Amino acid sequence: MIPEMDNPLKKPVQFLKGVGPKKAELFAKLGIRTVADILWHIPLRYEDRRQIKTISQLEIGRTVVVRGFVKTANAIPRRGRGMVFEVLFSDNTGVVSATWFHFSKKAMEKRFVLGSEWIVTGKAFFNKYRGSKSMVHPETESVTSDEELTQLGQVIPVYSLTEGLNQRAVRKVVKSALALLKEFPDFVPEPINRSFNLPSLTRCIKLIHAPPEDVSFAELNEFETPEQKKLIFNELFLLQAGIAIKRNKAKVDIPGSSMKVSGDLLDKIRTTLPFKLTDAQERCLSEIAKDMSQNSPMNRLLQGDVGSGKTAIAFSASLIAVRNKKQVAIMAPTEILARQHYKNITALLGKTQVCVKLLISGMKEKAETLSQVESGAAHIVIGTHAIIQEGVLFKSLGLAVIDEQHRFGVQQRADLFHKGDHPNVLIMTATPIPRTLSMTVYGDLDISTIDELPPGRIPIETRLYTKENRVSAIETIRSQVVKGNQAYIVYPLVEESENLDLQAATVMFAELQETEFKGMVLGLIHGRMKGAEKDEVIERFSKGEINILVSTTVIEVGVDQTNATVMMIEHAEMFGLSQLHQLRGRVGRGTEKSYCLLIANLKSGSPACDRLKIMEGTEDGFKIAEADLAHRGAGDFFGARQWGAPELKITNIFRDQDILKKAKKAAFLLVDQDPGLDNKANHELCSTINLKWRERFQLGEIG
Ligand code: ADP
Ligand code: MG
């Protein structure tokens, strides 16, 4: 073993040639701090420079690499609106144009000096206006030094970058890190590597950064070489080991913490509800009741589509706790939503003696509420982040409910948990997580799913319009308003953005009021408004004083208006499908047929348009989430990253299902045999988990 301080892999990146304090800072932005980190900076894809084409050989529709000189470089007006930057590259066989839509003119002019030579990689199409072959936003790299030229006959890795770092700089630094690499310590114990016949980690790291000449380019770009698969295995194994440890730790036994959940109690709770629970709700409730009757605290995710009736379940679980003389905290992401829960739950509790309190910041009666929470006089506390603030002390918190969990960070979840002594935790989400993802993201939770909507729901009719047909959508809104119903119009942004000529809610509000909806009452609500202003608008909408509510996505959660029958979404292409689905769930809550009108700034038949078509075909949140996930990738899935979902650098959850299963099995078996990772063979694993996952998983020190 190499002594710690001499281990070059553990040295800061600045240790490498060509990395000064400034570059080190840029690398830090990419999460790269040490030499080992730079070696784990896995290429996004590869470029095949063994085959540079001449411009005349460019094939339409294929990604190719050409080499040419800058002939012209200008900002030119774009058909329609704005400017594009265009560079003409030529070699002795022809000319190809390259265009950029988002650019700084100054920077571009400085970059593409007339006569300079470039390697240009992109997908060519035929630009009929120019009458030539074109590329949009191609990758460009200047050919300026001999060192670059030597790379021409190779397969070149392409890395993710940050402003101020280019491919060349990263490649150079990686190269000097590789030169220091003797052995990369592997946290996967040797017997596991052997049993799956995995190549050595050191070999893998070398191959991904410097592929040998005879590598299969297709395999490499599909991440299908045995070396890449080994790296994927490692990433998933580490994650699964973390999850396994977390699960183990959560299985603590707190003697005397179990709650009594008799059939009588459940019957009583049922009679409090104004409706009969659906079968799916019953199943989820019994799963929760079972958890709560154990000495080991519940750690459960309740997932169900918008309107599937999660609140009733949270309410029932709350009553179980209250009847067992324990307090309940329900935390919601917005004030609007917290107030709505408060209103609904207060109404349900009616004549009972249960004391429910609302806790949001800036409240007048806050001091009084706090003392009631502390004395135990308040049984159920519903609120926003205000609940996890320092001064909030519970006498005996027995159940913590988190609504719309994806809006909270890991730390906030942990803070709520620590308001009690191992309270039961119930997390609710309306964004059903595809099974493929739940194994990684929610690996440490038990999952209950409400997969059935309450009876009597009338399906929502969803229609996709292009901009040209927008008038018919407007007509639908007008006719619904005339019938006495209400409508939402949602815009993606608050203010006009420079690059994307979006119609923003604020601007359109005024325009709509003057034109298409003259004579109707419009209201405006957006994220920059103060809480009280928002409340007032929502209040007027609830009372029916506003016919059409123009809004940004603030209404995504929390407005429950049965009289609203139209949801029109402008620039639907800007939204994720799951988000559209959530928005759609704001209508169809009453007894009348509802409409969801998606206005897309797209050509019909385009792939982006096909993606939106899914919305017309289904109201099944699971199907929509799968499609969304497939489109956007796991990293972006509904802010998964933001709340602490593991950051997977090389894994693609869809592609790598098989590896995931293997890694999971191996990791769980290992943690089962050595829960504290005390075996010498598991030391590297132990220290890596401590380094990478401890904070994310709230593991406490292990080993
Ligand atoms: P979620 O929070 O899952 O989006 P809610 O709990 O707000 O859904 O329920 C949506 C609506 O359905 C509410 O008006 C609620 O009263 C009603 N509801 C819930 N469960 C049932 C049921 N079993 N039968 C009839 N209506 C129900
Ligand atoms: Mg809800």
Q: How far is the CA of 696 from the centre of ligand 1 (A)?
A: 33
Residues 6 or more apart from 209 whose CB is under 8 A from it?
39, 43, 157, 174, 175, 178
Nearest to 97 by CA among 85, 109, 105, 89: 89
CA atoms within 13 A on the CB side of 79: 5
Instruction: Give the number of the atom of ligand 1 that is nearest the alpha carbon of residue 281.
Output: 23
CA distances from 97 to 67, 128, 138, 282, 319 (A): 13, 12, 10, 63, 68
Give yes or no for a contact between 388 and 274, defined as CB atoms under 8 angstroms apart: no
299-304 and 139-142 as β-strands: parallel, antiparallel, unpaired? unpaired
279 CB within 6 A, ligand 1: no
What does the pLDDT look like over 447-503, one tens digit per residue? 899 988 888 888 999 999 998 899 999 999 999 999 999 999 998 764 444 334 344
Supply the DSSP string of 429-450, one letter for each residue: ESSPPPHHHHHHHTTTSEEEEE
Q: How far is the CA of 612 from the centre of ligand 1 (A)?
A: 27
Q: How far is the CA of 362 from the centre of ligand 2 (A)?
A: 24
Residue 1's pLDDT is 45
Say what percent of the chain tops pLDDT 90.
Answer: 49
307 CB within 6 A, ligand 1: yes
308 CB within 6 A, ligand 1: yes
Q: How far is the CA of 281 from the centre of ligand 1 (A)?
A: 10
Which ligand has an atom closest to residue 344 CA?
1
Average pLDDT rounded to a whole number, residues 279-306: 94
DSSP run (H or E) holding 172: helix 167-180
Q: Which residue is closest in CA terms to ligand 1's atom 17?
A: 309
For the full predicted model, state whether its pTM sits above 0.75: no
- pLDDT over threshold 60, residue 5: no
Instruction: Give the number of the atom of ligand 1 that is nearest the alpha carbon of residue 403.
Output: 2
Classify 401 as helix, strand or coil. strand
434 CB within 6 A, ligand 1: no
Distance CA 30, CA 695 (A): 19
What does the pLDDT look like over 100-110, one tens digit per residue? 988 889 989 99
Average pLDDT rounded to a whole number, residues 240-260: 85
**Average pLDDT of the chain?**
86
Q: How far is the CA of 345 from the centre of ligand 2 (A)?
A: 12
User: Which tops the pLDDT comparison, 648 or 452?
Assistant: 452
561 CB within 6 A, ligand 1: no
Instruction: Tell me whether domains 51-152 and 263-450 share a fold.
Output: no
Residue 351's pLDDT is 76
Distance CA 398, CA 324 (A): 9
Residue 102's pLDDT is 80
**562, exposed or middle or buried, with CB in 10 Å at 0-12, 13-18, 19+?**
middle
Average pLDDT rounded to a whole number, residues 651-657: 80
Nearest to 499 by CA among 574, 568, 414, 448: 574
Instruction: Could you please state the CATH topology (level 3) that the domain comprising 461-618 is classified under.
Output: Rossmann fold (3.40.50)
Distance of CA 242 to the CA centre of its chain: 20
Which ligand has an atom closest to residue 284 CA?
1
Give me the sign of the Cα torsion angle 61, 63, 66, 68: positive
The CA dihedral of 624, 628, 629, 634, to the nearest 10 degrees, is: -130
CATH number of 263-450: 3.40.50.300
Residue 694's pLDDT is 64
- pLDDT over threshold 80, residue 556: no
Q: How far is the CA of 499 from the centre of ligand 1 (A)?
A: 41
586 CB within 6 A, ligand 1: no
Instruction: Give the number of the atom of ligand 1 that is nearest the alpha carbon of residue 310.
Output: 3
Q: Which of 141-145, 313-317, 352-356 has the highest mean pLDDT?
A: 313-317
Least confident of 19-33, 194-208, 623-637: 623-637
Confidence of residue 209 (pLDDT cuts 50, 70, 90): very high
Instruction: Give the number of the atom of ligand 1 that is nearest the alpha carbon of residue 450.
Output: 3
Which ligand has an atom closest to residue 582 CA?
1
405 CB within 6 A, ligand 1: no
Instruction: Give the number of the atom of ligand 1 that is nearest the alpha carbon of residue 314.
Output: 6
Residues 6 or more apart from 414 whose CB is under 8 A from it?
698
Q: How far is the CA of 311 from the centre of ligand 2 (A)?
A: 6
Distance CA 192, CA 663 (A): 10
Mutate-to-test residue for ligand 1 from 273, 284, 308, highest number of ligand atoms within 8 A of CB:
308
**What is the domain partition of the chain in residue ranges?**
51-152, 183-252+661-703, 263-450, 461-618
Q: How far is the CA of 278 from the centre of ligand 1 (A)?
A: 10
CATH number of 51-152: 2.40.50.140
Confidence of residue 641 (pLDDT cuts 50, 70, 90): very low
Q: How far is the CA of 583 from the centre of ligand 2 (A)?
A: 12
Which ligand has an atom closest to residue 589 CA?
1
Distance CA 38, CA 157 (A): 13
Q: Which residue is closest in CA terms to ligand 1's atom 19?
A: 309
Q: How far is the CA of 307 from the centre of ligand 1 (A)?
A: 5
Distance CA 464, CA 473 (A): 9
Nearest to 580 by CA among 460, 661, 425: 460
Instruction: Give the number of the atom of ligand 1 that is nearest the alpha carbon of residue 306.
Output: 4
User: Which tops the pLDDT comparison, 300 or 690?
Assistant: 300
Mutate-to-test residue for ligand 1 from 275, 401, 402, 559, highest number of ligand atoms within 8 A of CB:
275
Q: How far is the CA of 195 from the centre of ligand 2 (A)?
A: 47
582 CB within 6 A, ligand 1: no
Instruction: Give the number of the atom of ligand 1 that is nearest the alpha carbon of residue 304.
Output: 3
